[in-house]
Amino acid sequence: MSTTIHETTTPISPAAYTMREARSATREQWNGWLQGAPGGGHIYQSHEWGEFKRTIGWRPIRLLLECDNAIVGAGQFLAWSTPGVPGCLLYCTKGPWLPWDDEQAVRTFFAGVRTVARRENAHTVKIEPEVLEEQTAVKAVLTDIGFEKFRWDLQFKTTMLVDLTPSEEELLAAMKSKTRYNTRLGAKKGVRIVEDNSLEAREEFHTMMELTAQRDGFFKRPHNYLFACWQAMYDADRAHLFFAVHEEQKLAGILIFTFGHKYWYTVGASTDEKRNLMPTYQLQWEVVRWAKEQGITFYDMVAIPNPENLNEEDSMYGLYRFKAGFGGRVAEFVGCLDLPVASLRAAAWNRVEPLYYRAYKRLKHDVYY
């Protein structure tokens, strides 16, 4: 795949690095460039995710960092008009993907982002890079550029990452003994794992999600949002739905998204039936095995509470203990950062947004991000 951009726009920066917009990029081109960026990108930075969000009022703007005509970074920003405050915000969900250890690259990219933001009449740029909290030098550069911590983390900033390159035997050995035992229990009792992506299966899974949300106190987005999102991912061959089944009864399900060499635990759900068979453990393990067969080498379990602030009384402790049992490593990212571009309007939106967010969630039973 070619790594050059067929655009006629003048590069924004005259330095060795240049940043430019890829307005005419096809899905295959953008996803290829994103996968080739440092770290390999994220499903929420994919072309198909941007096009899905376009259907609900967010407009994707795709930016590329180049050096010597080679693409070395990418970021998909979503523009959204802010109610009550003129202009828009630009939101880079789980991105951008840059050579973070190169300060010149980072500064050049965000200098270009500022130019695009002003063109779009944006007052705020919001990013969620997978920069680790421990990367203090990168954090210092972002602070110097003008980024500041947003009041909320829109995506979980702490996750569990599992390297899938070891053999199955090595992955099992890395698990906690109770987890390893539970992954095998269901199979001995006749539980089998199936992939079923039919509309009927998705409805069954949604019903399972509603039960899980009520039982465990989790927020669940509305049916119409979820099904539109899932369909967009299915159309791009990014979504896969698996179930643990016992005697023709679906006990638990997991929906994953894939992109390049990665997959994400998007959502899991279970019924209250036959929980003694530990179907969620077997389900996780068999999906790991499936992913390895597809050549996937990286598993992001997506969301855990910060272990440093966790105790057994915490409502999220069970989720943490479940995910930690699979032998992954904890990664804490810097979370959501804001760059005010038009300071007065950015400050106005910062004051207005908490009120708008609460009202929107109360009326729509959803969030707008």
Residue 4 lies in a domain: no
Residue 353: give the domain boundaries. 17-155+334-364
Assess whether pLDDT exceeds 60 at residue 4: no
184 and 322 part of one domain:
yes
Assess whether pLDDT exceeds 50 at residue 7: no
226 and 312 part of one domain:
yes
What is the average pLDDT across 221-246?
98
Residues in the chain: 369
CA angle 245, 213, 176 (to 5 degrees): 60
Read off the tokens for 266.
């998007």
Which residue, among 88, 42, 82, has the nearest Cα to 263 in the 3D structure? 42
188 and 236 part of one domain:
yes
pLDDT, tens digit (0-9, with 9 covering 90-100), for 120-153: 999 999 999 999 999 999 999 999 999 999 999 9
Residue 263 lies in a domain: yes
What is the average pLDDT across 165-177?
98
DSSP H/E element including 89: strand 88-92
pLDDT, tens digit (0-9, with 9 covering 90-100), for 303-346: 888 878 777 777 778 889 999 999 999 999 999 999 999 999 99
Residue whose pair of structure tokens reads 């969000």 in the numeric block = 53
Read off the tokens for 328.
């992954």
Backbone phi, psi, residue 250, to 5°: -75, 120
322 and 339 part of one domain:
no
Assess whether pLDDT exceeds 50 at residue 293: yes
Our CA dihedral for 92, 24, 110, 10, rounded to 10 degrees, sits at: -170
DSSP letter for 307, please.
G
Residue 6 lies in a domain: no
Residue 10 lies in a domain: no
